[in-house]
Structure 1
Amino acid sequence: MKILIGVCGIGQGHITRQSVIAELLLERGHTLSFLTYGPGVETLKARFPDSLVLPVYVPWVACGPDGLRFMETVRRSGWRAIPGILRDLSLIRRFRQSEPFDLCISDYEPVTARVAYATRTPLITLDQQSKLLGFETSPIGELSRKEERARLGLFFPKATKRIALSYFRVNAAPDHRFRVELRPPMVRSEIQNDDQETRPEHTLVYLSNYGSDSFVHLPDLVASLATMPNRRFTIFDSLGRRCEAPLNVVFEEIDREFFPKVLADSDSVISTAGFNLISECVAAEVPIMTIPLATYDQHLCSRTVETLRIGMGLKETRSPTPGELAAFVQQISNARHSMRTNPDVLKPSPTSTRKLIDEIEAVAKPFQDRG
């Protein structure tokens, strides 16, 4: 099959997740093309040199509790958006005039959906945000699912199948306007549980950014880590920041091959509350302390870490205090046990991964047979 995969270019989670899917689809003999933007372009070109990787333009769509905010979106983008929009239209026209795809898959990347609509190709939305479209999760402070639901409804008004990956069972009423199916997350094969009962007193720290900012003050974080001199900490910062640190704290560059090795050598993780890393921690049975960035999705992930008892979820975007850090370390053993035994934790496995790839292929088959 010819498959077009659209990948959100913000952060590492979308690209990491779709790389797993793409590698498995390539193993089954399918031909892949990619649409993405930002850092995702060069990353996917490096990982899939034999596949077509094209850049697209995706404007930031402003939303609030009242839904889409058109004028704010226009003010943010202005005239700068016009060349990108024209390039996207040209790309869609090009695909309409060429041999059609058998299937389009989008991980929160809207231009792929527009290609699917224009070429009458089946579309699968395969992401983690779609659970906010399909389930009436409760507000968290001033944040709610309404903002994300508005974007998803705008980007993907129709889909042949909507799949939301989730490391937790969503205990909320379904939104019957959108049928969304939950599946366990997919993680890299390098991420696995080694069944060690005891691990080194070592914590992996990962700080992602939101736009051009991190919102986690690095010196404050290192000051808290310094209060535990007998524990080692390895910090990966997506902005490449550094600061003076004690001997038990080291900084490393983010590297796709090195990162899983550090995770395997850790008994815990401290991270911003990104879905993909939490999923990897669940797969490797490594408890996590989460620091949510200023989005509903990250606050939901952080709250879920707390309610599932698989770690500690902070409620604010800040560094943990020495007391919170000590409390987290005290509960590592219990949190790991909860990762193994809590029925509301959805753990990835080779079997669930194979079933998902089968499911993806099955969506296109009726359309191929009909054509």
Structure 2
Amino acid sequence: MRVLYGVQATGNGHISRARAMGKYLQAEGIAVDFLFSGRPAEQLFDMQQFGDFQVKTGLTFVTEQGQINYLKTAARAKPLELWRDVCQLDCSAYDLVLTDFEPITAWAARRQKKRSVAFGHQYAFLHQVPQIHDTLLSRSIFKWFAPAQQQIGLHWHHFNQPILPPIVDLEPGINTADANKVLVYLPFEDQRQVIQCLQPLQQYQFYLYGPGLSKNQLGHIQCSGPCVDEFKRDLHQSGAVLSNAGFELVSEALQLQKRILVKALQGQMEQESNALALTQLQLGQSTEHLTTAVIADWLAGSNSFQRVAYANVAQALAKWIRAGACPTELQQLDLWKDQSL
């Protein structure tokens, strides 16, 4: 069986999901060709797992200081190049096209009437899940940005909807957490401002990852640029996670039972809805403004929150795909049975 797998590379969450899926698809004997879009090739890192992958421009949002800049987003969009890539992508050699909110593979499969399956957090918003600033535009984006014949939404709770738990890229191991160690990943914020917020809190050890940072020790703040292995190690060892409200890192933190504080990317409906769901489910805390006082209150506050234990969704989906990706069989997997929420 040969599969074309499109990955939205704007954020690292989609790529992290692809790492998990790729391992289990390979274990099932499925040949996978990857296509990434939404980020320049030179900004991708630790991509050896994906072999000889393709990179396309696709579509992405421009962010500045924690907010989406819609004018720059529109100015940098290349719709003609996007459509050319859709028309030139040949899906004839594949038995199935998978897309994680990646538009080129999704629309190429649609044009060529190739069987396609989409999975990702964005598809959960096609159902009745917690949403904020829900508009006709947002609903249209979730429906038509990267459509597929079968669309599988992922979320932290089922909300009595036909969706699945998160796909997390975590290796089995001992979760040895240090309560005073805090992983910080706020890629959409000004990193200098983040450091200023953390500097007074010298009783904690902060491990800050972000774009433009080089490996550097600033007293109790360890700065690092984007990487995979060290980030995963620090995630396992930290007692708490401070991040934007992207889905994948929060999912991994939940699975590892970390304390969580998120600041949603302003103007990004998905992240703002994630912050809402996280607090409604009592899985973590959220803030609209990042200050030293907010971080200090969170770290000093109660450690009580709901705990979850998600099933191995990546493995289940890989086996389901190898068996033919039958929609009725997917409904019978019952992947929520192990969740403690």
Fold shared, TM-score > 0.5 on shorter chain? yes
Residue 87 of structure 1, CA deviation: 3.7
- Where is the helix percentage greater, Structure 1 or Structure 2? 1
**2:239 equivalent to 1:267:** yes
Question: Structure 2: which amino acid aligns with 1:348?
Answer: Y
Residue 358 of structure 1, CA deviation: 2.5
Structure with higher Rg: it is: 1
* Aligned counterpart, 1:361: 322
**2:182 equivalent to 1:164:** no
Closer/same/farther in 2, CA of residues 308 and 193 from structure 1, 3 Å limit: farther
**2:196 equivalent to 1:227:** no
Residue 331 of structure 1, CA deviation: 3.3
Residue 201 of structure 1, CA deviation: 0.8
Question: Structure 2: which amino acid aligns with 1:311?
Answer: G
Question: Structure 2: which amino acid aligns with 1:168?
Answer: H
TM-score, scaled to structure 2: 0.81
Aligned with 1:222: secondary structure? helix
Closer/same/farther in 2, CA of residues 81 and 300 from structure 1, 3 Å limit: closer
Residue 242 of structure 1, CA deviation: 9.2
Aligned-partner Cα distance in 1 for 2:194–2:281:
25
- Single out whichever of 37-46 and 267-276 deviates more from structure 2: 37-46
Question: Structure 1: which amino acid aligns with 2:6?
Answer: G
Residue 75 of structure 1, CA deviation: 6.2
Q: Structure 1 stretches of 5 or more lacking a match?
A: 63-71, 175-180, 210-215, 341-346, 367-371
Question: Structure 2: which amino acid aligns with 1:161?
Answer: Q
Alignment partner of 1:186 out of 144, 164, 167: 167
* Aligned counterpart, 2:87: 89
CA RMSD across the alignment: 3.1
Closer/same/farther in 2, CA of residues 168 and 238 from structure 1, 3 Å limit: farther
* Aligned counterpart, 2:304: 334
Aligned-partner Cα distance in 2 for 1:110–1:126:
13
Aligned with 2:34: secondary structure? strand
Give runs of aligned pairs for residues 30-45 of structure 1, distance below 5 A.
30-39=30-39, 41=41, 42-43=44-45
Alignment partner of 2:295 out of 325, 329, 342: 325
Aligned-partner Cα distance in 1 for 2:76–2:194:
34
TM-score, scaled to structure 1: 0.75
Count of residue pairs the alignment pairs up: 316
Alignment partner of 1:47 out of 46, 49, 52: 49
Give runs of aligned pairs for residues 60-139 of structure 1, distance below 5 A.
76=75, 81-91=79-89, 94-95=90-91, 98-99=92-93, 101-135=94-128, 137-139=130-132
* Aligned counterpart, 1:6: 6
**Aligned 8 A contact 2:6 2:36 in 1:** yes
Aligned-partner Cα distance in 1 for 2:163–2:140:
20
